[in-house]
Amino acid sequence: MYHYCCDNFDEMTDINKVLRGKLKEVAEIRAPEVVEEQRSSDGTIKWAIAVGDQRVETVYIPEDDRATLCVSSQVGCALECKFCSTAQQGFNRNLRVSEIIGQVWRAAKIVGAAKVTGQRPITNVVMMGMGEPLLNLNNVVPAMEIMLDDFGFGLSKRRVTLSTSGVVPALDKLGDMIDVALAISLHAPNDEIRDEIVPINKKYNIETFLAAVRRYLEKSNANQGRVTIEYVMLDHVNDGTEHAHQLAELLKDTPCKINLIPWNPFPGAPYGRSSNSRIDRFSKVLMSYGFTTIVRKTRGDDIDAACGQLAGDVIDRTKRTLRKRMQGEAIDIKAV
């Protein structure tokens, strides 16, 4: 079912015919359906996938030596990070295990059927799509277990990455439940800036968050002793050389590599993307402290599939869009 993305019991010819008949009587294999596909000029593919009467988005990113699938964990997101399009849509519900692993299954089936076009099979999965994975721990962990299981997709634990904005109690639970690669959405060198752009920081500040990260690393083999720091570059907000020095000091006790992410715009956002020169200066400061620093290449931005641009189709249960209308704030048209 997983290895071959098979959804027809009759095609499972390595199973006894009688058993196939019984399976047809009591079960069906039904994965979420793709309702829209967009293809970028750089080879990235974005699928809008139906989950009930709403949509989430899943992104396939091919590279020279691998292919990464970015998977959603929730319909919308409750965390309200100011620079992220998903967060502006509001929040509706957690995805079920079947809806999470179904994104992987559906993508693998599409890519597998297109091998003749040279599309690379999925080698990596990142829980970096719509939603905060740690707010849906009870469904995300079983889905990742299927990704890792040899009878599932058989991925290495170093090739399945969970990204979090800092739900500290759930991060501690995660370390007792599963071992996968960890990335953290830090995005600021101090609490003052992070309180503004990542509001959950007001509940779990940077010091508390990084302490939980270090506890996770102590238990983990998948991370090879270090965490990935995600840092979106916002023009004249968090991208000055003084911020780079602060970040280096902040991370001196946390083994890590740092991904600098050029911000990807969306309608109504109050930010600008840092210039290449500011990103370059920032990167050089971090490298002078000995940090492995990578400037992430923007992929799929021409189809709104890049980091922070996923929106889907969300019925907002948090009334966030209504509050914005009443406050006179700009609203992404996809949220209406």
How far is 316 from 283, CA to CA, in rounded Å?
A: 38
187 is in an annotated binding site: yes
Identify the DSSP state of 121.
P
The dihedral through the CA atoms of 90, 96, 98, 101 has a sign that is positive
5 is in an annotated binding site: no
185 is in an annotated binding site: yes
And the tokens for 247? 């970040």
264 is in an annotated binding site: yes
Do residues 35 and 50 lie in contact, with contact meaning Cβ atoms separated by under 8 Å?
yes
Just list the catalytic residues. Answer: 57, 307
Identify the DSSP state of 243.
H
8 is in an annotated binding site: no
| Integer angstrom CA distances of residue 212 from 147, 175, 186, 278 | 25, 10, 13, 31
In the block, residue with structure tokens 């995805």? 95
How far is 326 from 336, CA to CA, in rounded Å?
A: 14
Q: What are the DSSP calls for 14-40, one per residue?
A: TS-HHHHHHHHHH----PPPEEEEEE-
3-state secondary structure of 104: helix
| Integer angstrom CA distances of residue 215 from 5, 171, 245, 255 | 37, 9, 25, 12
81 is in an annotated binding site: yes
CA-wise closest residue to 206 among 150, 251, 263:
251
85 is in an annotated binding site: no
User: Taking the mean position of all CA atoms in its chain, how far away is CA 52?
Assistant: 21
Which residue type is seen at 108? A
How far is 7 from 336, CA to CA, in rounded Å?
A: 35
132 is in an annotated binding site: yes
| Integer angstrom CA distances of residue 94 from 72, 91, 113, 314 | 10, 9, 30, 12
Identify the DSSP state of 234.
B
How far is 329 from 45, CA to CA, in rounded Å?
A: 31
Binding residues for S-adenosyl-L-methionine: 131-132, 163, 185-187, 264
Binding residues for [4Fe-4S] cluster: 77, 81, 84
Binding residues: 77, 81, 84, 131-132, 163, 185-187, 264
